[in-house]
Amino acid sequence: MSVTAAKGFTAAGIAAGIKENGNPDLALVVNTGPRRAAAGVFTSNRVKAAPVLWSEQVLKTGELRAVVLNSGGANACTGPKGFQDTHATAEKAAEVLSIGAGEVAVASTGLIGVFLPMDKLLPGVEKAAKELSEHGGEKAAIAIKTTDTVHKTSVVTSKDGWTVGGMAKGAGMLAPGLATMLVVLTTDADLDAPVLDKALRDATRVTFDRVDSDGCMSTNDTVLLLASGASGVSPEYGDFAEAVRRVCDDLGRQLIGDAEGASKDIRIDVINAATEDDAVEAGRSIARNNLLKCAIHGEDPNWGRVLSAIGTTGATFEPDRLNVAINGVWVCKNGSVGEDRDLVDMRYREVTITADLAAGSETATVWTNDLTADYVHENSAYSS
Amino acid sequence: MSVTAAKGFTAAGIAAGIKENGNPDLALVVNTGPRRAAAGVFTSNRVKAAPVLWSEQVLKTGELRAVVLNSGGANACTGPKGFQDTHATAEKAAEVLSIGAGEVAVASTGLIGVFLPMDKLLPGVEKAAKELSEHGGEKAAIAIKTTDTVHKTSVVTSKDGWTVGGMAKGAGMLAPGLATMLVVLTTDADLDAPVLDKALRDATRVTFDRVDSDGCMSTNDTVLLLASGASGVSPEYGDFAEAVRRVCDDLGRQLIGDAEGASKDIRIDVINAATEDDAVEAGRSIARNNLLKCAIHGEDPNWGRVLSAIGTTGATFEPDRLNVAINGVWVCKNGSVGEDRDLVDMRYREVTITADLAAGSETATVWTNDLTADYVHENSAYSS
């Protein structure tokens, strides 16, 4: 159901010819109202793609009527011409939808440093507009895939009659702040832009920002939340924020589950930290340790690599009080050898690492995946 | 010639049986004087192996008479028993050499979180002491190998009659502060401990600290510099520091050249930075970008990944003024598409990435290597 699960939205996904293989590569999402409130969160990379610069700008009004998304090219590091291309994309969508270009966000994904084939993209926008449908969410989700093997959608519906739905793409270059991904969330809840903005930031902080596939932060990360108000219901903030968080959490898990070349999904629970920031810092350091990620790939409960990763952080801890469990077996106790590592069963896809900092009561969960030869192949065999 | 190139040193390398495959695994280096000045630099990881804690302590006197090094086990994350084992190793060396345990540094390398087989290690120290020789440097270098495919030694001799020589091991878990390695440098220059300390820190700051194989910082990194004074010559500081820097630079290059699974040595020159710290930060960020390292493995001049890595740093730069050359071809100019990427010849092992921050006049060089399926295999197939 994707972005058209909530009332007040239409979407389309088509093949514009941006991808040379003819796969779908252009999506259009339109908020048919009555409301057009919107919020967005973008990459914290200082090298930002043209569509990120554009969309940050148009979102300042707190309103969006449409989003154009393309795969097949990131339009990042493309200079003034790249920005003009994004602008022309928004203008074309505005023209065919009879709205203003300032009401159109643009998101792109694919190879950095190449120009988009505008002779294909602009006719594609016209074609997509003709195919807009209240059932188009699935096709839109398919059209934004790059190296994703599956498309990703999620929906949470409230018993009070409102819905939050969304779609995501992302498979590599996933790192906090944000993961490399395009995400569009829609809701028919009747809420204004400041509330959407707060709910979105509260959600991404504990979901997408804690998904770290390969430590590489993208130039194009974009998460948008559009509200149509079409349900006529204005939910309590807490209920709405929880629904947004659940959709983001689900999509984030789908991103990790489809990470390039991955064979293991690794859940890192940092517990008993002095502060939540400490817990996140330790979790990210563990998530980025290539040697640990290789060991997990080999089903080797190599807890020494967890400790050496924690040791590089500024978190509060004493080395001789650290404890580490892998899949529930406390293989490291008080910074030294704990239970027998042969007791750890690592046959299944999901692996849980619990790192006990023994320094307080704060926790955080960070998701990553293993590092595999397939990841290397996928990222060395061709430009991506 | 290794650690016995300088006069006033003997060394040995033997198989003590710590490694199950029977390969050499224990080295002993002895300063026969007349001077016993020494300095050391250790990992900045907060989780430090027992031998690091021990050696930091004994070095406070500024004197060392001997160093015991073992491969086959890191003696890290081994708690009080691990520290007792290191202490017992120093006591045994002291006993057989008729010196004090406080004059013996210990260094260990291998798997974290397992106890050393002291029933093999202690007799090994006795055996090594019997084989000490002025020609033992090569054997010592061989005995400290872990996943190294070759042993690493380097020597610089001054026309004024003094020498700096050294040995190193290290192949994975290489990251600044320091790389995972054990290094012993010796000199027959007649210098005191504060001068050795300054020369060693000045050298490691621009050599080992700028070698980053896989972003993983070890618990055991140790670099020692021992001076016997046996040449009778007290060189100028600048001459001596330069010799130490050259030996460290050469050994650091050998570490990168033998990095686990690597097929490319990548030299990252960051130029026109506002500060040297900015240049180092940008260089390290590029060196740690898994996607770039995969691309280089695939001989793909994917400069977008260089920009996205720079974009995650706090260095001073404007995105639209960044320039990147790969093997001398300026594939990115002013943050956008530059010369034709097909002009880049990446057939050879050494690849040079030049990142121009266009923000000042400072520079730094960081070395790394590509990320390969072999690295994954080597670090997932067994505990290492």
Query: For residue range B339-360, what is the model confidence (pLDDT) as tens digits?
Result: 999 999 999 999 999 999 999 9
Residues B346 and B377: their CA atoms lie apart, in Å, by 24
A contact residues 315-354, partner B, Cβ 8 Å cutoff: 317, 319-320, 322, 331-332, 334-337
CB atoms within 10 A of CB A153: 23
Is the minimum CB–CB distance between A53 and chain B shorter than 8 Å?
A: no
Among the candidates B235, B257, B279, a domain finishes at B257
CATH, residue A269: 3.10.20.340
Q: A335 to chain B: which residues are within 8 Å by CB?
A: 47, 77, 79
| B79 and B219 fall within a common domain | yes
Beta-sheet strand order (sheet of A26-31): A9-14, A26-31, A66-70, A104-108
Of A246, A259, A251, nearest in space to A349 by CA: A259
Lookup: tokens for B148:
């190294």
Confidence at residue A179, expressed as pLDDT on a 0 to 100 scale = 45
In tens, the pLDDT along B291-331 reads: 899 999 999 999 988 998 998 899 999 989 999 999 999 99
Backbone angles phi and psi of A274, in degrees to 5: -70, -35
Decide if pLDDT at A51 tops 60: yes
| Residue from the list B48, B334, B377 with its beta carbon closest to the beta carbon of A373 | B377
Among the candidates B236, B257, B278, a domain finishes at B257
| B251 and B274 fall within a common domain | no
Q: How many domains does chain B have?
A: 2
Confidence at residue B353, expressed as pLDDT on a 0 to 100 scale = 97
Q: B312 to chain A: which residues are within 8 Å by CB?
A: 45-46, 217
Q: Which amino acid is at A129?
A: A
Is the minimum CB–CB distance between A76 and chain B shorter than 8 Å?
A: yes
Q: What is the mean pLDDT of chain A?
A: 91
| B281 and B173 fall within a common domain | no
Query: Are A288 and B381 an interchain contact pair (Cβ–Cβ within 8 Å)?
Result: no
Residues 6+ apart with CB under 8 A from B29: B3, B9, B10, B11, B66, B67, B69, B140, B184, B186, B226
With 0-12 / 13-18 / 19 or more C-beta atoms within 10 angstroms meaning exposed / middle / buried, residue B90 is: buried
Query: Out of A71-85, A108-122, A167-181, B301-315, which region has the weakest mean confidence (pLDDT)?
Result: A167-181
Query: Out of A45-49, A185-189, A264-268, which region has the weakest mean confidence (pLDDT)?
Result: A45-49
Q: A113 to chain B: which residues are within 8 Å by CB?
A: 302-304, 307, 331-332, 336-337
Q: Tell me if B119 sits within 8 A of B17, measured CB to CB.
A: no
CA-CA-CA-CA torsion sign (A184, A187, A188, A194): negative
Is the minimum CB–CB distance between B78 and chain A shorter than 8 Å?
A: yes
What is the complex's ipTM, to 2 decimals? 0.79
Average pLDDT over residues A242-262: 89
Confidence at residue B218, expressed as pLDDT on a 0 to 100 scale = 76
Backbone angles phi and psi of B103, in degrees to 5: -105, 10
CATH, residue A23: 3.60.70.12
DSSP letters spanning B12-55: EEE--S-STT----EEEEEE-SS--EEEEEE---SS--HHHHHH
Domain encompassing residue B189: 2-257
- DSSP-assigned letter for residue B237: H
Query: Are B379 and A298 an interchain contact pair (Cβ–Cβ within 8 Å)?
Result: yes
| B276 and B214 fall within a common domain | no
Confidence at residue A382, expressed as pLDDT on a 0 to 100 scale = 58
| B286 and B375 fall within a common domain | yes
Task: Let me know if B180 is a catalytic residue.
Answer: yes
In tens, the pLDDT along A93-124 reads: 999 999 999 999 999 998 888 899 999 999 99
Which residues are paired to A362 by β-bridges?
A273
Report whether A384 belongs to an annotated binding site.
yes
Confidence at residue B156, expressed as pLDDT on a 0 to 100 scale = 93
| A221 and A294 fall within a common domain | no
| A316 and A243 fall within a common domain | no
Residues B138 and B1: their CA atoms lie apart, in Å, by 6
Of A265, A271, A307, nearest in space to A286 by CA: A307
Confidence at residue B179, expressed as pLDDT on a 0 to 100 scale = 41
| B94 and B200 fall within a common domain | yes
Confidence at residue A383, expressed as pLDDT on a 0 to 100 scale = 55
Strands (E), B133-242: 152-157, 163-169, 182-187, 222-227
CB atoms within 10 A of CB B158: 17
Query: Are A298 and B173 an interchain contact pair (Cβ–Cβ within 8 Å)?
Result: no
CA A8 from chain centre, in angstroms, equals 24
Radius of gyration of chain A measured on its C-alpha atoms: 21
| B82 and B55 fall within a common domain | yes
Residues 6+ apart with CB under 8 A from A49: A74, A75, A76, A77, A78, A82, A108, A112, A219, A220
| A199 and A231 fall within a common domain | yes
Decide if pLDDT at A235 tops 90: yes
Report H helices in chain B: 50-58, 79-97, 118-130, 137-143, 193-206, 237-257, 276-287, 290-297, 303-310, 373-380
Confidence at residue B172, expressed as pLDDT on a 0 to 100 scale = 53
Q: What residues of chain B score a pLDDT lower than 70?
A: 171-180, 216, 382-384
| A376 and A237 fall within a common domain | no
Among the candidates B257, B286, B304, a domain finishes at B257
Report H helices in chain A: 50-58, 79-97, 118-130, 137-143, 193-206, 237-257, 276-287, 290-297, 303-310, 373-380
Residues B327 and B124: their CA atoms lie apart, in Å, by 48
Is the minimum CB–CB distance between B75 and chain A shorter than 8 Å?
A: no
Lookup: tokens for B318:
């404007």
Confidence at residue A174, expressed as pLDDT on a 0 to 100 scale = 45
| B204 and B288 fall within a common domain | no
Is the minimum CB–CB distance between A171 and chain B shorter than 8 Å?
A: no
